[in-house]
């Protein structure tokens, strides 16, 4: 039981740790910027895929999966942004 004392003291210290807070609006501004960057990257990859298809090249499965994942991420991020916009204007 004597071994628990130091652990409890460490736990108490952890409870007092403060973390810097970032205003919610700044987070959404960054999210908007990141979504735009992701859309641009997706567009570049999609153009290369289309060019490769014209030359009857095989598209790697990981590229197809990446495009699908990016589409899903963009939709979810845009939903978050839209929900944030609608709650901030209410």
Inside any domain, residue 41: yes
Domain that holds residue 82: 21-88
Inside any domain, residue 31: yes
Number of domains in the chain: 1
Torsions phi, psi for 21 (to 5 deg): -105, 145
pLDDT of residue 71: 97
Token code pair at residue 47: 């153009």
The predicted-structure confidence for 10-45, as pLDDT tens digits, reads as follows 555 555 556 566 677 888 999 999 999 999 999 999
Inside any domain, residue 67: yes
> Following CA atoms 12, 14, 19, 24 in sequence, which dihedral angle do they give, to the nearest 10 degrees?
-80
Mean pLDDT of the chain: 84
The predicted-structure confidence for 43-76, as pLDDT tens digits, reads as follows 999 999 999 999 999 999 999 999 999 999 999 9
Inside any domain, residue 28: yes
Inside any domain, residue 55: yes
Contact call for residues 61 and 11 (beta carbons, < 8 A): no
The percent of residues above 90 in pLDDT, for the chain, comes to 61
pLDDT of residue 69: 96
DSSP summary character for residue 23: -
Inside any domain, residue 6: no
Cα gap 44→87, rounded to integer Å? 33
The pTM assigned to this predicted structure is 0.69
The percent of residues above 70 in pLDDT, for the chain, comes to 72
Cα gap 29→50, rounded to integer Å? 32
Inside any domain, residue 65: yes
């Amino acid at each position: 039981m004597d071994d628990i004392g130091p652990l409890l003291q460490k736990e108490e210290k952890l409870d007092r740790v403060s973390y810097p807070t970032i205003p919610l609006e700044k987070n959404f501004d960054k999210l908007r910027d990141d979504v735009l960057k992701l859309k641009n990257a997706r567009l570049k990859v999609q153009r290369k895929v289309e060019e490769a298809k014209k030359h009857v090249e095989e598209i790697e499965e990981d590229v197809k999966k990446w495009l699908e994942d990016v589409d899903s991420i963009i939709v979810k991020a845009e939903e978050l942004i839209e929900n944030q916009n609608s709650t901030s204007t209410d």
